Each structure stands twice: as C-alpha cells, then as structure tokens.
Chains A and B, each alone.
Chain A
C-alpha cells in the first residue's frame, strides 16, 4: 500500500516506529498531490516549505528519542476559514484574497503542539456559505468519485482532499452541515462536535451560534484522534464548554449496554432519494443484528428547521460580515475614494460573491426595523421548539440515525441558480446546528452510479464518545470507508 493511502493513525504509527520518516511521507504526499490535485482542485494554497520544515522537526524529535505529540508527523489540511499565522486565510473570498492572519486559531495551535504537519488550506464556499463549493471565488472543487459532481459544501475542499488521499485528515467548520454533507458526498467520516466542544477562536465567523469546528477523516478512529486533540476549554471563546473531555480513543470499540437508536420519521419522508433511503435502512438492519434496539421517533418541528436556520444564520452572518469594509485589512477598491460610504459599498460589492451578498441582504432584512419580531424572534422561538423535540427524543434513545443528505452528490451547476433548492439539501444536517448537538456522518453505501452515501448519527450534548462508538460499530462490520475512487 502506498503511504498516502493509509489512515492518519496508521501513518503516525509507521512514523513513530521509524518505518518511514515524516519527511518521506511529505515527499510522497506532494508527489501524489502534484498528480491528482489538478483533477480535484481541493486546495487554495499549499505550504510545501512549511510542511518540510515541520516534518524535519518531528523526525529530529523521534531520532533524539524525544516525546512526540498525538499527531506526530500526520499531514493535516485546514479549511481556509481557519486562521493560520504566515499562511493566507481567504475564506475563498476576494475580500480576503491576500489576508495573512497575525495569529493562529485555537485548533491550529493544538494540532501544531501535537506535531501535526499543516500542508495547506482547502477550498470552500465563500465564507462557508453554500452546499456545493460552487460559491468559492477562486475555483470549484471536484468530487473525486465523479469529477462532474460537486464535492459538497461548504467544506468540499477538505472532503475531496481526504477522499483523494491528498491529505490524511482535515479540519473544517460546520454551520448547517458543512463538514457532514461533503463527507457524505465524498465518502469519508465527518464529525461535528457539540457546540462549545471545540473553541471557535480563529474560525472566521459565519453564524456564531451555529458554527462549530469539525473533523474530516478517512475512518472513525482518526475522527476520535483528531477530536481528542482539538476538544477542550479555551479562555478566548466565551462559548467554549468547561465540560471535561473524555477519552474518545481507548475503548472506541466497546458500545456499552443496550444501544437504543432513534429513527425519526421526518428524516425518511418526502424528498429522500430511494437509494440513499435504502442504504440507511440497510445500515439500521446491521445495527439491529448487532443487538441494537430501533425506536421509531417523531421530531415534529424538524420540518421548520431550514426556514429557522436561514433566518438565524443570515441574521448573524449579516453582522459578522459587516467588518469587511476595507479599512483595517482586506480588499480595497481601486476606484477613487471621495466618500466613506461609497468606499464601503464598493469594497463590499467587489469583494463578495452573489451567495454572500444574498445572505447579507436577507440577514439585514430579517433584522431591520419592523421585521425583527416576525423573523428573528420567531425563528429563535421555533429553534427552541426544535431543541425540545430533541431533548424529548434523547430521553428515550442513545442516538438518532438518519441519512446525512436527502440525495447523493449532485452535478456541478445543477442547483446553483435556485438558492432555495440548494438550501433544502441541508435539511437533515441543519437541526444539529440549531440544537447544538454532535453529529457524525459515516459512509454507508454507494449509488448505482458509484457515488457515496452517508449516514448521520446524532448524539446528546457532549456525548461525542457515544456517537463515535456507534459509528465505529458500523464501520467495523463494513468496508465502505475503505473504498477508493479511481482518479484518472
């Protein structure tokens, strides 16, 4: 097996045992990237020099017999909305095209401390707004399983890179499904932890009450490994949880007690692609065979989740993106500047793409004078109803299983002209963000045309440990996660 085809944990073991050096891993990886990246275009920026420098450092530590971190020598990619010192962080937006942050995000500090090797920044929908990657200001990333298809969004770059083996693991952000949906579309494992589990410090904000950093990995074990590293309290994020982080890794193969799985009817209804539906039903059968109890559920307000989400997310986004005005950083109009208001309006007209503009407009509309109660406040109340649905459900079950997305990856251009249809593709992932609970997408099958299908496991607040175990249980009995696309 070629080194880049291994999982993150496998390559780490090899590096630690000195079967291969970190520098050799990087060498081989970049050879593969040179070969495959032109087909996929998962990256916005690669940091070859930085990667070799860090690899050298890790090799030196190991040669000296020094202690190394949990991710020793593992090449990691970061979604390009996570701030990195000395590496551009563009959010796939013209407005931040040349922005080099003067600080590292919390998660970046953490993975550096654990000796991971950052190799580059991956593509996304501009400011993480989108479900297809087509909203990137720079280029569209391709789905490695079918390059005519989108890789999903907004974290399509990370998912495509992990699937194409051009990186071993990646960090992304999930505001309405941006880690889970592309992972489902590309056939890898995407985990969105509980809101507050991983510090948002240094993640460029889209919608602050929904954003959460998550992992994109080749298998469930790697997800546990990466989450172990990035989880935990951070004094620079007021919403960062103080709940202790349990050991996700050591007994990941033991599902304790009788597993009760909730199956919500709202997630299997109208609009669900039949191939996706049956793949998930088959997966549920596997659980049943393993002794799990399947419990039919209703989450009556989930049908309102997309509407609720597009009010709250756009309201928060309209304010989070107000800071891009060309004064302190970022794009500034080349046109003459005689008036500050014109300058702002031009900078933002030139710097933002259509989807971002659309959401800023919608967000300002729902917050504007006279509409606040009808829209923002109304949505906040419905959000509470949705949370109550889940709280009730979790009194009866340990986790909830559903498809990650209603369809497999769609074709490039298929939905780009109809924003509402695009929004509806996140219908199953959005509720977890509204409620703040953790969710993980694992591969559970393929369509007839060979596109991956993802299954979503949702858990109680701060119960990542459980959903990782439930995911691992399925993975242990299947081989969907081991399938590789042919990339020619």
Chain B
C-alpha cells in the first residue's frame, strides 16, 4: 500500500510533529517501503490465534494504597523549561 504525502501529514498531525516538505516526501517513500515489507504478515492465517500483548505471564500485580512522600515542588519545577508561581507554564490553551 502506498502512503501518500497527505497521509503522512495526517499522521504527523496525530504525532504532533511538524515536518518539512522534504521530510514528508522521504517519509512517504520510506513508510511505503516498510509497510510493503510488513504486508508479508498477511500470508499467515491468524483468525484462530490469540493476540499476545504482554511478554510476561504475570497477572494481578498491585501495590497497597499507602502514601509515599511526594517530590519537592522546587526540584520538579527546576526540570521545566517554563514555570510560574508553582505551576508549569504553557501557551494559552483554548478549549
């Protein structure tokens, strides 16, 4: 299946990545190539096969509802490129 530049634009949008025109063209070609290779999975009949989403057989893993001390706000906010008054700061969000 060929991936069009338009499809690349749509996925880039979903991925929140701005692409240059060159990137769009290159990625369209490369993804077409890779997805073409992936097509070989269709040789297999998997109707009766259960999906394997986990590489572990573990189940029911929980922790007790116990408080642990949080990190200091200063330490946390120091990681941030932009903060103000104890908050993380972002461009105005319009809902």
A–B proximity contact (CB within 8 A) = yes
| Contacts from A to B (Cβ < 8 Å) | 99-100, 102, 195-196, 209-210, 235, 238-239, 241-242, 301, 303-304, 306-308, 310-311, 318, 322, 325-332, 337-346, 348-349, 352, 354, 357-358, 360-362, 364-365, 368, 375, 377-385, 387, 419-420, 423, 433-436
The 8 closest A-B CB pairs, nearest first, are A380-B51, A332-B81, A436-B55, A384-B52, A381-B46, A349-B18, A329-B79, A195-B55
CA separation between A165 and B52, bound complex, in Å?
41
> What are 19 contact pairs spanning A and B, CB under 8 A?
A99-B79, A210-B55, A241-B58, A326-B81, A329-B80, A337-B90, A345-B18, A354-B23, A357-B27, A358-B31, A362-B31, A365-B35, A378-B46, A379-B41, A384-B50, A385-B49, A387-B52, A419-B30, A436-B56
Interface flag for B67 (CB, 8 Å)? no
Q: Tell me whether B82 is interfacial, beta carbon within 8 Å.
A: yes
Nearest CB to that of A356 among chain B residues? Answer: B17
Contact B91 A348 (CB under 8 A): no
Q: Which residues of A contact B11 (CB under 8 A)?
A: 361, 364-365, 368
CB pair B79–A357 under 8 Å, yes or no, is no
Q: Which of A100, A328, A339, A383 contacts B52 (CB 8 A)?
A: A383
> Do B71 and A102 have beta carbons less than 8 Å apart?
yes
Chain B proximity of A293: nearest CB distance (Å) = 29
Given A303-B40, A361-B15, 4 further pairs, Cβ under 8 A:
A195-B55, A345-B18, A365-B7, A419-B34
Segment 28-85 of B: residues with Cβ below 8 Å from A: 30-31, 33-35, 37-38, 40-44, 46, 49-56, 58, 61, 63, 71, 75-76, 79-82
Measured between beta carbons, the chain B residues less than 8 angstroms from A340 are: 90-93
**Distance of B29 from chain A, by nearest CB (Å):** 10
Interface size on B, residues (CB 8 A): 50
How far apart sit A29 and B3, CA to CA, in the bound complex (Å)? 51
Question: What distance in Å separates the Cβ of B53 from its nearest Cβ neighbour in chain A?
Answer: 6
Evaluate contact between B79 and A307: CB separation under 8 angstroms.
Answer: no
| Interchain CB contact under 8 A, A382 and B44 | yes
CA distance A474 to B52 in the complex (A): 34
Residues of A contacting B46 in the complex (Cβ-Cβ under 8 angstroms): 378, 381-382, 385
Name the B residues within 8 Å of A325 (CB-CB): 16
In angstroms, how far is the closest chain B Cβ from the Cβ of A323?
11
Q: Would B41 and A308 count as touching, CB distance under 8 A?
A: yes
**What residues on B are CB-neighbors of A436 within 8 Å?**
55-56
Contacts of A361 in B (CB 8 A): 8, 11-12, 15, 17, 27, 31
